[in-house]
Amino acid sequence: MSEMIPALDWQAIFVAPWTTDFSIYGWIFLMGFLVCAACGLAGNYLILRRMALVGDAISHSVLPGLAIAFLAANAWTNRQAAGEGIDLAVEPSGHGISYGFAIFMGALIAGVLTTLMIEIIHTRTRIKQDAAIGITFSTLFAFGVVLISVYADKVDLDADCVLHGEIAFVSIQPFFTIGTYQLAPSPVIRMGLVTFLTLGLMVVFYKELLVSSFDPGLASSMGINATFVHYALMCWLSVIVVSAFEAVGAILVIAMLILPGATASMLTTRFPIVLVLSLLHAAASSVLGLHLAIWLNSSAAGCMVVAGAGIFCVSWVFSPSQGILPNWLKRRRNSKCLPSAGIGTETVGES
Amino acid sequence: MKYLRLNLIGWILLLFMAALTPVHAARIGDITEISVWDQTVRFFSFKDPSLRYALTGAILLGLTCGLLGSFLVVRKLALLGDTLSHAVLPGVAAGFLWDMDKNPVAIFIGATVAGLLGSFMVTRITSTTKLKEDTALGMVLACFFGVGICLVTMIQRLPSGNKSGIDKFLFGQAASLGQSDIQLMAVVTLLTFGLVWLFYKELLTVSFDPGFAYSVMIPVAWVHHGFMLLLAFSVVIALQAVGVVLVSAMLITPAATAYLMTDRLHRMLLFACLTGMLAGIMGAFFSFLGHQLPTGPFMVLSAAVLFAVAFFFAPSHGVVIKWWTRRSRSGRVRRENTLKAVFHVLEQEKFRQEGVTLVELAELRRQTLDGTEASCLELVRLGYGTMPPGEKAFYLTPKGMRRAQTIVRNHRLWELYLTDAANYSPDHVHDDAEEIEHILGEDLVRQLERQLNFADRDPHGKPIPSAEEIISAHGTVQSSPPTATGYRKPS
């Protein structure tokens, strides 16, 4: 047991990542932050729309889209290579534009397909939405896993990594270069692009998203097509999920989608502040998670989720408006000053 | 309950089959025969002990998950099963750490505790904060899984200990089931079936009407906690074969399939068990056909195929069946409306003329002439009328006349019923009667005419075609016994 938890070496755990080993851990931190930020921002809308579990579904079901995209891009590259007489074994073409595009399309199709299947199952039969979600994503995910294991030699995915990703490999990925200047590892660039696009889309369509999330009826009276917003959100969500995939995997991404928004909504009820707080949560959980991972020599993505969960628990206990501790104190104070304890507890419980 | 007992006997027999003597050793994941056919024969000959274990395990988990999943589906708790199954992962890791080996009992206890803790956390979060249930479910699912992933990674990087098999919990490998696993699974399955059998009434009441259950002194909270405990057990025994990620599918999909097949809970339980079992067998079989294929995803896909069959072809709830009945019903309604229109035209002319012209009919139905002709031709084909060639007219046969009178009679009786018995005003009753006239059966019509004292005028003063009229309309049906139509006034 004791070998599980190494000694807490201050220098190695808290100082080294930001000084001597910055070239490795800096990228891991940045990648973690970008993933958490993009997911957290989009996740706020999921929480508002009570669709947190649709996020769960999409994060699972992008897997077959990803696998098919890999297969298609592979076949395409092979055919091209055969046409041009290039021997792939000698000169691997790597992850070119075709891979990126195929994966993007695969994610979009998977997202739309999931949303449609859930809709169809629960509107055409008497099966409720929760069961429809469960059936849809587990089936698609199983299909993805089968594809990966059948075409193991052709798909560049590891079945276990699919679940939890491997963010630590980010810093050893090939760098994206402009001219001779090495900018950043290409996954970081990709994720950064997605995160900034997310931010940009949210700023541009702030009103549409907000209104259609809170009041679809009002939205359609204002001329906003709520169904379109719903599908667009789902598509964008699957793009975010698929770009986060190799870093954090299918299941941990759910935590990154929900935790920032849930923590923020414990602390405030104003939506703009919720957005800012969820960004803060993303930063804090990636820093803390990184240190935790170095200390425990464990999966970085997993540790980021654990750190994020820790932050949520702290805000759950201490949140001024709905935390457990302040509520308990309030109730105790009330029961002291009121003659009947029952009345006091009821008012606090309702507020 | 009879079905449950039959089921019990069935799988006990299967357990005995598992005790046959081994001849060769082949496991799921190894290709031992060359062709698919040989592999199939090998699968169904049950020669290999490891295969028998895997198959027995698959059957046991299909039974348990189907049984408990049914309650989840009818209680709209399907995703609680998902959360619970992901939340067991840290418990599995902790059980593994207990003596650094794959000890089924330690893992069982650890996983059960973690699963229960997860479902407890969901309840606490939803009751103490403003967060909604879906958020709480997703959060607990992913956070527990994150903790589990951290622990599993740490275990895998440890220098010492027998680490093999811990990663098999993610996707499941039925081939790694051993005798002690099967024994554990059998005990849990027996326990589950026994408890569900004993407390069937309580579970049924709590699932469908907790308020009523509370009022008849059923301890609702205890039933719920007991059910959660059983659910955690079933998730844990399914782990090794299906894996953490896909256990929820074995809980939800067979139960949802059964939910489409029937409306009675006990039959649903039976169907869910059978579907789960079948999915288990199919999954084990398909993963046996290839090299190094995980069992869990194949079981889930098999269950999904069964679900798809039920989705399209389930009696009364299948999409295709529903579409078919709707289509044939709308065809019947269309035909009956045409017949009624013919009757109305004849009635306007006080039954002086023999047939109606298509122009008259088209005017009344506000249709095009072609459309009217098409619907008349359909009636001719079914023997309700005739259209002599060269004439643009339609003549009712006796059968058609009888049918038209029946529909008009239904319509007017219902109108009268609504005004007399339900106090509707006469100008509000037509639309309602327009729909119900196609649905009223003979029993109901008899009841209506008794209640309305065999009245012969509807609220608008039009005559209600009486039973005698329908029978003697064209004189040809008198040979059939009068009781057959059911429209007779007592003389």
Question: What DSSP string runs through B441-490?
Answer: -HHHHHHHHHHTTT--B-TTSPBPPPHHHHHHSSSSGGGS-GGGT--PPP
Confidence of residue A159 (pLDDT cuts 50, 70, 90): low
What chain B residue is nearest to A145 in terms of C-alpha separation?
B297
Q: How far apart are the CA of A220 and the nearest CA of chain B, in angstroms?
A: 25
Find out whether B300 and B249 touch, Cβ atoms under 8 Å: yes
Q: Which of residues 73-102 of B touch A (CB under 8 A)?
A: 73, 76-79, 81-82, 86, 97
Give the model's pLDDT for residue B486: 39
Tell whether B320 is within 8 A of chain A (Cβ). Answer: no
Tell whether B67 is within 8 A of chain A (Cβ). Answer: no
Tell whether A289 is within 8 A of chain B (Cβ). Answer: no
What chain A residue is nearest to B299 in terms of C-alpha separation?
A142
Confidence of residue A39 (pLDDT cuts 50, 70, 90): very high
Contact B146 A302 (CB under 8 A): yes
Decide which of A154 and B464 is more confident: B464
Interface mutation vs chain B, best among A123, A129, A145, A350, most B CBs within 10 Å: A145
Find out whether A300 and A36 touch, Cβ atoms under 8 Å: no
Tell whether B289 is within 8 A of chain A (Cβ). Answer: no
Decide which of B205 and A163 is more confident: B205
CB pairs under 8 A between A and B: 214
In terms of pTM, does the model score above 0.90? Answer: no
Give the model's pLDDT for residue B288: 79
The pLDDT tens digits for A303-314 are 999 999 999 999
Phi and psi at residue A316, to the nearest 5°: -65, -40
Mean pLDDT, chain A, whole residue set: 82
Decide which of B281 and A10 is more confident: B281
C-alpha–C-alpha distance, residues B203 and B197, integer Å: 10
Position A326 pLDDT exceeds 60? yes
Mean per-residue pLDDT, A88-114: 70
Mean per-residue pLDDT, A160-176: 72
Mean per-residue pLDDT, A161-183: 71
Q: Which of A139, A251, A254 sits opposite B300 (nearest CB)?
A: A139
Phi and psi at residue B429, to the nearest 5°: -95, -15
Give the model's pLDDT for residue B476: 43
Give the model's pLDDT for residue B197: 93
Tell whether A105 is within 8 A of chain B (Cβ). Answer: no
Decide which of A160 and B89 is more confident: B89
Give the model's pLDDT for residue B8: 54
Give the model's pLDDT for residue B50: 76
Q: Percentage of residues in chain A with pLDDT exceeding 90?
A: 25
Q: Which of A60, A135, A160 sits opposite B167 (nearest CB)?
A: A160
Q: Nearest to residue B28, comparing CAs of B286, B356, B401?
A: B286
Q: Which of B139, B245, B307 sits opposite A135 (nearest CB)?
A: B307
Tokens of A4: 């599980």
Give the model's pLDDT for residue A42: 92
Residues of chain B falling short of pLDDT 50: 1-2, 18-25, 473-491
Give the model's pLDDT for residue B471: 55
Evaluated on CA atoms B58, B60, B64, B70, the torsion sign reads positive
C-alpha–C-alpha distance, residues A221 and B16, integer Å: 67
The pLDDT tens digits for A202-234 are 999 998 888 888 888 888 888 888 888 988 998
Tell whether A56 is within 8 A of chain B (Cβ). Answer: yes
C-alpha–C-alpha distance, residues B237 and B112, integer Å: 10
